[in-house]
Amino acid sequence: MNKMKSRFIGTLIGTGVGDALGRPFEGWSRKQIEARCGRIMDLLPDFPPYRLPAGQYTDDTQLTIAIAESLVRSKGFDLGDLISRFVDWLSEPPIGPGYGCLSSIRKLSSGVPWQEAASDSGGNGTAMRVSPIGLFYYNNISKLIEYARLSSLLTHNHWAATASAIVVARSIAYLITCDELNIDIFLKTIASSVQKSEFEDYAQNILKLKDFLKRDKVEALIELGGIGIKPPWPNPAETKEGYIAAYAMSTTISALYCFLLSPDDFENSVIEAVMAGGDTDTCGAITGAISGAYNGIEKIPSRWIKLLVNNEYLKKLAIDLYKIAHK
């Protein structure tokens, strides 16, 4: 298969399998996951009392599909169409949604103008869904940044959500055109996309990943799980339990770290993202998108793809996106 097409598919399927791998463990710490399951190797059903089957994804993949469908339908970014597609998501219904998306999209559905609907959340709701914008606009970085930002502002007003959406989209765009990864250049490139003072210390925290990669993996992820969190918010790193906070900066930087731990090994990166605990479905989804963008569909374990709900549709959607992006 054409390498670029494979990477488009790898990004969307990667999101889905990462999301589904992490879903049963959302809110668990690394210690709890290890005690119950050892190392997670397979997509699992929920533990009682929940009942979702193995391979079921959550809001991360649902809203990624929403953005991809809107880009395909409108042949590019169209704010009004995206709003109507987000509103449709309310009746899918949402699976495991976060406060930031749910509260703002409910306001949009009742006719509140988008400029007033967004939550003040700095959570993960926008970085987790942005990968199709990174794919579609990989060749036009100023539009990529503009639309990643706008897609985020629809639901999240906080700078960390905006910056994270830009960072994830920029990472995808970089990686789908990259043949041999140079970690230094990759980190500098994505850091430069959020180097403005409105994004505080985001760019510096991305550049610190080089040092984190030299450290013990578990210790590094414990610290990254709370990176950027300031009092009065509790920092999960202080408990040493292993927990990625559902804060856009800590999750996005942790996902980048998991990708960079084994850039050529999709399976290992996504397992590490989930084993890190906390917001496991989203850290899995973002890591899966980023690693899938670099590795393509061929490197995603087929035992995961087979179990993934709607895998054929995700593949078709990625191919449609690829075709329209290259018209």
Residue whose tokens read 């578990």:
218
Amino acid, single-letter form, for residue 67 = I
Which stretches within 176-307 are classed as H helix? 183-192, 202-207, 209-212, 217-224, 248-261, 266-275, 280-295, 302-307
Beta carbon nearer to Mg ion, 236 or 296? 236
- Residue number of the CB atom closest to Mg ion: 58
Which stretches within 75-137 are classed as H helix? 79-89, 99-109, 114-117, 131-136
Beta carbon nearer to Mg ion, 98 or 242? 98
Is residue 156 classed as helix, strand or coil in its secondary structure? Answer: strand
Amino acid, single-letter form, for residue 148 = A
Q: Which of 60, 69, 223, 267 binds Mg ion (CB under 5 A)?
A: 60
Candidate segments 10-18, 89-97, 137-145, 183-191, binder of Mg ion by CB under 5 A: 89-97
Q: First vs last Cα of the chain: how many Å apart?
A: 18
274 contacts: CB under 8 Å, gap ≥ 6: 18, 21, 22, 25, 33, 40, 280, 283, 284
70 binds Mg ion (CB under 5 A): no
Candidate segments 2-10, 210-218, 247-255, 275-283, binder of Mg ion by CB under 5 A: 275-283
Contact string (CB under 5 A) for Mg ion, positions 187-226, x = contact: ----------------------------------------
Shortest Cβ 282–Mg ion spacing (Å): 5
Question: Are 39 and 317 contacting, i.e. CB atoms less than 8 angstroms apart?
Answer: no
Shortest Cβ 112–Mg ion spacing (Å): 24
Shortest Cβ 115–Mg ion spacing (Å): 26
Candidate segments 35-43, 88-96, 204-212, 262-270, binder of Mg ion by CB under 5 A: 88-96
Which phi and psi (to 5°) does residue 203 adopt?
-60, -40
Contact string (CB under 5 A) for Mg ion, positions 93-132, x = contact: ---x------------------------------------
Six-digit token string for 126: 């926008």
59 binds Mg ion (CB under 5 A): yes
Shortest Cβ 21–Mg ion spacing (Å): 12
Contact residues toward Mg ion (CB under 5 A) are 58-60, 96, 281
